[in-house]
A and B are shown apart, each in its own frame.
Chain A
Amino acid sequence: MTAQIELKNIDKHYGAFHALKKVSLSIEKGSFVALVGPSGCGKSTLLRSIAGLETITSGDLHIAGKEMTGVPPRHRDIAMVFQSYALYPHMTVEENLTYSLRLHGVGKAEAKAKAAEVAATTGLSALLSRYPRQLSGGQRQRVAMGRAIIRNPKAFLFDEPLSNLDAALRVQMRKEIRALHDRLGATSVYVTHDQIEAMTMADWVVVMRDGVIEQQGRPLDLYDQPVNRFVAGFIGSPAMNFVDGVISEDGRGVVVGAGDRIPLARQAEPNRKVVAGVRPENLRVAEGAASFHFEVGNVESTGSATYLTSKDGALQLVQTERLGFSVGDRVGLDIDPALVHLFDPQTGARI
């Protein structure tokens, strides 16, 4: 595998604001990479730097082996799908699709044929002579996609393309984008603040915060082995529970309150203060003796799952069976010791 996009020590300053701090990232050819993080983490800035819409303050950028650091966007041969779709309102769907081809001197007939072909794959064939304002949100989204794929670029960049769609359409487009990626064998970089999009679509997830890459890896590796408390809390929905506690004398559990202790699968340093992380879906309601307890503060049922939240709001629990608890009940909980994560209370790093 070769790197299609290679970033080395990218720095970006906006005046006094340090948006990207020595970011290095290698994106394999043909892979689907998601950049994910809370707003203001620098993920969009990173994407726009790859596109050439932002100039990077220092660092090196290579696309398909060529130095692209100072090259204007039009010579980078990349395509981008914007959050607002950025369709040209004064052009028909066909003109929108063929705009880049016409700029690159492709003949009229050939451009038309290409547009028809792309329209067929994106389900736009009947809409070619419409204007963007006459399209629904999902159709606009498809035009934006079609405009990107028509010229077979070296990489696709997506800047939160689904955030303007309603929930049902978002789930559908998620699959379509991924299917399109697989069919074209393209290299895609996808920016989102929605970790579910990142987890479901990407081969490789990059979690960012404050201009720094916190962790990158395969989606399930991030879920199973988060390197710090931030990644642990960001990946997974509902978010991981964090409980303050102290390692017990024997080092085989975390004491979290009067008589309650979360079991550990391995030996830990006794008497050390830690933050224990347990995912809501990994907690079980104990049948017999419980290792720890909580008081029910809120019960939500979606039919397929029941969400219990503790009275102090610190703990959440998801069960697929229907639970007959009501507010105020004291529930005994159990967990597989192998699924307990430990973090340092000060640095947040994984122990």
Chain B
Amino acid sequence: MTRPYVPWLLVVVALALAAVYLFPLYWMYVTSFKSGSEIFANPPTFWPREIDLSIYPNVWTRRTMHVFLWNSTLIAAGVTAITVIFGTGCAYVLARYRNVWLDIGLFSVLMLQVLPASVMVTPLFVAFNQFGLLNYPRTAVVLAAAAKAMPFFVVLVRATFMTVPRELEEAALVDGNSRVGAFFSIVLPLARNGILVCAILTFMSSFGEYIYSKSIIQAPALQPASVGLSGFLGPNSTDWNAIMAYSAIYVTPILAVFVLLQRRIVSGLTSGALK
């Protein structure tokens, strides 16, 4: 095989993998457009015979989706706020100072990332119960999910801070600023892109948070859309087009944000903040 064909082969492989990965998404949209009988047709149709959009408003009102989506937004916003405020400071310190204790700190932050939510949820539930936090279930979920999102955020933002040259801060100090002032007027604006990207990723992932919400929030009026969706699913579910319509309503905004910002997200993750 000659050299120019290798990239083409790789592109084909990449497209095939992407197709496999994105197939469920495609199936979700297509199924939501199908009528009840067509869903169970054998062989399955890959494009609906007639597109029926009436299921969307129908599902929206029947499942009180505005309540679920509002809860999801609230939880995601809370998680993002906590993560950004505390994570940024933490990442800065980890990027600028080096000693044994900070290495241990960084290591434990990474350890947190390894622990799965399904393992953490039981001890967290017991602890929240003792603190009385279960009376404020959304707050409890925000705290739990923020702890889960924090390591990822800290590690990425730390890398962003490391791309900001130390000399800039020193110049600001000599120019008459304090450490805190130099952080806010020099370092933070330069790391802004990286922080923004990580904040968006945090928001998007906590918008789909499920495990903590499912176990901690009992009242349907306080549940996020992820839990609301699972209420739909049962052993005897046949309402597939409604379920898919619900999923589509839930997922589309996140997808839209990602597609709109994907260039910034990719460059923010790879190149750091200095430009």
Contact A72 B173 (CB under 8 A): yes
Contact B174 A53 (CB under 8 A): yes
Contact B176 A80 (CB under 8 A): no
Contact B171 A80 (CB under 8 A): yes
State how many angstroms separate the Cβ of A98 from the closest Cβ of chain B.
10
From 198 to 240 in chain B, residues with beta carbon under 8 angstroms from any chain A beta carbon are: none
State how many angstroms separate the Cβ of B103 from the closest Cβ of chain A.
15
State how many angstroms separate the Cβ of A199 from the closest Cβ of chain B.
27
Per-position binary interface string of chain A over residues 77-97, scored 1 when its CB falls under 8 Å from any chain B CB and 0 otherwise: 011101110111110000000
State how many angstroms separate the Cβ of A332 from the closest Cβ of chain B.
54
Most A CB within 10 A of own CB, among B165, B174, B178: B174
* Cβ-based interface call for B181 (8 A): yes
State how many angstroms separate the Cβ of A41 from the closest Cβ of chain B.
20
Contact B173 A73 (CB under 8 A): yes
Contact B190 A89 (CB under 8 A): yes
Contact B167 A72 (CB under 8 A): no
> Which residues does chain B contribute within 8 Å of A147, judged by CB atoms?
171, 175
Contact B177 A53 (CB under 8 A): no
From 145 to 181 in chain B, residues with beta carbon under 8 angstroms from any chain A beta carbon are: 165, 167-168, 170-178, 181
* Cβ-based interface call for A168 (8 A): no
Known: A86-B167, A89-B274, A103-B181. A80 touches B174 (CB 8 A): yes
* Cβ-based interface call for B196 (8 A): no
CA distance A88 to B174 in the complex (A): 13
* Cβ-based interface call for A335 (8 A): no
Of A74, A76, A99, A104, the contact of B178 (CB 8 Å cutoff): A74
Of A53, A89, A100, the contact of B170 (CB 8 Å cutoff): A53
Contact B168 A88 (CB under 8 A): yes
From 18 to 75 in chain A, residues with beta carbon under 8 angstroms from any chain B beta carbon are: 51-53, 72-74
CA distance A104 to B174 in the complex (A): 12
CA distance A92 to B175 in the complex (A): 16
Per-position binary interface string of chain B over residues 251-274, scored 1 when its CB falls under 8 Å from any chain A CB and 0 otherwise: 000000000000000000000001
CA distance A229 to B71 in the complex (A): 78
Contact A53 B175 (CB under 8 A): no
Interface residues on B, range: 10 to 19
CA distance A215 to B275 in the complex (A): 44
CA distance A80 to B173 in the complex (A): 10
Per-position binary interface string of chain A over residues 87-122, scored 1 when its CB falls under 8 Å from any chain B CB and 0 otherwise: 111100000000110011000000000000000000
* Cβ-based interface call for B186 (8 A): yes
Known: A88-B186, A89-B190. A82 touches B178 (CB 8 A): no
State how many angstroms separate the Cβ of B87 from the closest Cβ of chain A.
22
* Cβ-based interface call for B132 (8 A): no
* Cβ-based interface call for B189 (8 A): yes
Count: A-B pairs, CB below 8 Å: 61
> Which residues does chain A contribute within 8 Å of B181, judged by CB atoms?
103
CA distance A82 to B171 in the complex (A): 8
> Which residues does chain B contribute within 8 Å of A90, judged by CB atoms?
189-190
> Which residues does chain A contribute within 8 Å of B175, judged by CB atoms?
74, 79, 99-100, 103, 147
> Which residues does chain B contribute within 8 Å of A87, judged by CB atoms?
171
Of A74, A104, A151, A157, the contact of B173 (CB 8 Å cutoff): A74
> Which residues does chain A contribute within 8 Å of B171, judged by CB atoms?
80, 82, 86-88, 147
From 239 to 253 in chain B, residues with beta carbon under 8 angstroms from any chain A beta carbon are: none
Contact A82 B167 (CB under 8 A): yes
Contact B176 A104 (CB under 8 A): yes
CA distance A78 to B174 in the complex (A): 7
Closest to B189 in A: A90
State how many angstroms separate the Cβ of A271 from the closest Cβ of chain B.
56
CA distance A164 to B177 in the complex (A): 26
Of A51, A86, A104, the contact of B168 (CB 8 Å cutoff): A86
Contact A86 B173 (CB under 8 A): no
State how many angstroms separate the Cβ of B173 from the closest Cβ of chain A.
4
> Which residues does chain B contribute within 8 Å of A82, judged by CB atoms?
167, 170-171
Closest to B173 in A: A73
Closest to A51 in B: B174
Closest to B169 in A: A86
Closest 9 CB pairs of A and B: A86-B171, A100-B175, A86-B167, A103-B176, A73-B173, A74-B176, A80-B174, A82-B167, A90-B189
22 A-B contacts (beta carbon < 8 Å): A51-B170, A51-B174, A52-B173, A53-B174, A73-B174, A74-B174, A74-B176, A74-B177, A76-B174, A79-B174, A80-B171, A84-B165, A84-B167, A86-B167, A88-B168, A89-B168, A89-B190, A89-B274, A89-B275, A90-B190, A100-B176, A103-B181
Known: A89-B190, A103-B177, A103-B181. 12 other contacts (CB 8 A): A51-B170, A51-B174, A72-B173, A73-B173, A80-B171, A82-B167, A83-B167, A84-B165, A84-B167, A86-B165, A99-B172, A100-B175
